[in-house]
Structure 1
């Protein structure tokens, strides 16, 4: 009876001492946390797993030292060992989560020019998922290895590891492919959380990247769920990979008799009067002249994709309204010539040896300004101006998206 009482008192004393030690450490960490964000986060997140781990370890050691032989002693000690291993894995996971949360708090993404911050956030989130999964697997493995029968089974499994690995690889080929694709996306910088992309002809934002799938928030608040391997095997558009500023177009078909310069002036006035424009590009060009109409393309720029969409709609709306009020003859119309001797068009005489030099800078995309010259140099070849001009002509024919 005295041995049982001694064992109970010893175990209780060890548990109480562990709780007192942990609470004292927690109180000290809270005091330090008033001056340190790391200490405050440790005190908040790691208190419970630290308390459980230290208390279980103290009880286990007290049973080993104080308690003598009693029925079920080995099973109780084995159970305590399993609980200690599980709580230790919990403690390590909590520590890693604290460090990752501090990294995310330091590199916030709700600021301008956040490309680097979004890249770090994507990598940290992916590392968090990998580390938590690895800790869980390792903890379960260590717990299973405490059983003698499973240790023997593990030796026999290792003897036939070649066959098992082949079967597992074939069975989990798709899953493993997505996992490796997720790791590749996290560190290749192909996409990041909050990137604006166009996938499957849908425009949206990367909302979440996991080891197996990527969630894309479509502009109308739908969610497009794609496997991570999609972004490593198929082409897609990333509008914010190097910068959030983008260009967009608004196209209008008008009559051949339309004066272009007044429309350029109106486009400039619309852009300068809107806070959506980032003051980089404001160009009006004739991109097609076929059939009975000519096509005008207004090329404008904005700080991000959302502002660009609104700016494109605003430009299209204002140009249409201005033409209706000031140039109704510019509206598309069909012509029928009744008298072949007089088409009503005066001949235009211009010396072939003269060239116009008073072209408006708002009529050029790849020349005529600092930003335009930089764009022309970026799309130009090694031969200089000739390649730049030919490339500009090709790019100007692309449809704006």
Structure 2
């Protein structure tokens, strides 16, 4: 009994001293955290795992050094070793979270051109999940190795590891496929967090990317949950893979009698008067003229997909309003000739348009158009020798 009471007193004393020391350090870090976001996050996230680790370690060492022999001494020490391994793994995982939060706060996504930041966040989140999972597996393995019987069975376990791995791979091939697909997405830059994508006919933004699934936030705040293997096996649209600036169209059907140049001037005025336009592309073209109507396509550009959507809606609204107010005779109509043929009457000449106007071209007629034309058409090929003078 005296040995048991001595051990209890040592446990209580060492635990109390450890708690006091940790709380003093915690208050110091909290005070520093008023001026440093990193220290504040460290005090908030790592406080409890650090307290558990230090307390268990202090109790374990005090029993080894100060407590004599008492019943179940070996079992108590073994339990303390297991608790120390678990608490230390918890502390390491908490410190990783602090480092990740500090990196994410430095590389924020709410900036105009956030391509590198989105790539960094995607890779960091995936690495964090892999690292935390590895810490848990390693800690569990170290705990098992503290049992002498399991260490003695190590050779046989290693010998049967090949068979077990084959069986596990066959049983979880779908899950493992998603895990490897998640790693591939993180480091191939095919898709990143905050990318704008079109998946399954839905337009949205990558909200979360894990090892097993990808959450896409649809424009109306719905969430589309897809396995990561979807993005490695099926085609999808990524609007922001190389940059956040994008192009978009707004189409309007009008009558053949429509005067195009005033609409082109109205489009230019709308773009220049809106903060949504990034100043790159503002083009109005006739893309179709069949079925009794003429289809006009306004091609505009914006810094990101959200601004582009609003700009397309604004352009469509302004063009429709302009046609209704100034060219009402240009509204789409259905013609049916039920009268007898009449001799042709003289008509006024159609006003000529400027074919060299940059507002009438997409792939030529300006620095941006020439660059885009070179990308889609390639450089001009030299004439064959037989055709040269």
TM-score under structure 1 length normalisation: 0.87
Q: What are the within-5 Å matches in structure 2 for residues 12-31 of structure 1?
A: 12-30=12-30
* Conserved? CA contact 1:337–1:343, under 8 Å: no
Q: Deviations over 1:189-232 (max 9, x none)?
A: 11111111000010011111111000001111111100001111
Q: Deviations over 1:137-192 (max 9, x none)?
A: 11112112222333344432211222111111111100001011111111111111
Find out whether 1:382 has 2:379 as its counterpart: yes
Counterparts of 2:357 and 2:103 in 1: how far apart (Å)? 50
* Counterpart residue number, 1:342: 343
* Counterpart residue number, 1:128: 128
Counterparts of 1:188 and 1:170 in 2: how far apart (Å)? 26
* Counterpart residue number, 1:97: 97
Counterparts of 1:347 and 1:20 in 2: how far apart (Å)? 97
Displacement of 1:8 in angstroms is 3.5
Displacement of 1:70 in angstroms is 2.1
Contiguous gaps of at least 5 residues in structure 1: 350-354, 387-401
Counterparts of 1:27 and 1:276 in 2: how far apart (Å)? 48
* Counterpart residue number, 2:197: 197
Please give the secondary structure, in 2, of the residue aligned with 1:368.
Answer: coil
Displacement of 1:31 in angstroms is 5.1
Seen in structure 2, the aligned counterparts of structure 1 residues 5 and 328 have a Cα distance that, compared at 3 Å, is closer
* Conserved? CA contact 1:281–1:299, under 8 Å: yes
* Conserved? CA contact 2:356–2:365, under 8 Å: no
Name whichever of 320-329 and 87-96 sits farther off: 320-329
Please give the secondary structure, in 1, of the residue aligned with 2:130.
Answer: helix
TM-score under structure 2 length normalisation: 0.90
Equivalenced residue count is 381
Q: Deviations over 1:225-266 (max 9, x none)?
A: 000011111111111112212111111222222221111112
Find out whether 1:76 has 2:76 as its counterpart: yes
Counterparts of 1:127 and 1:90 in 2: how far apart (Å)? 17
Root-mean-square deviation (CA, aligned residues, Å) is 2.5
Find out whether 1:66 has 2:66 as its counterpart: yes
Find out whether 1:370 has 2:371 as its counterpart: no
Q: What are the within-5 Å matches in structure 2 for residues 1-400 of structure 1?
A: 2-30=2-30, 32-33=32-33, 36-333=36-333, 334-336=335-337, 338-340=339-341, 342-344=343-345, 346=347, 359-383=356-380
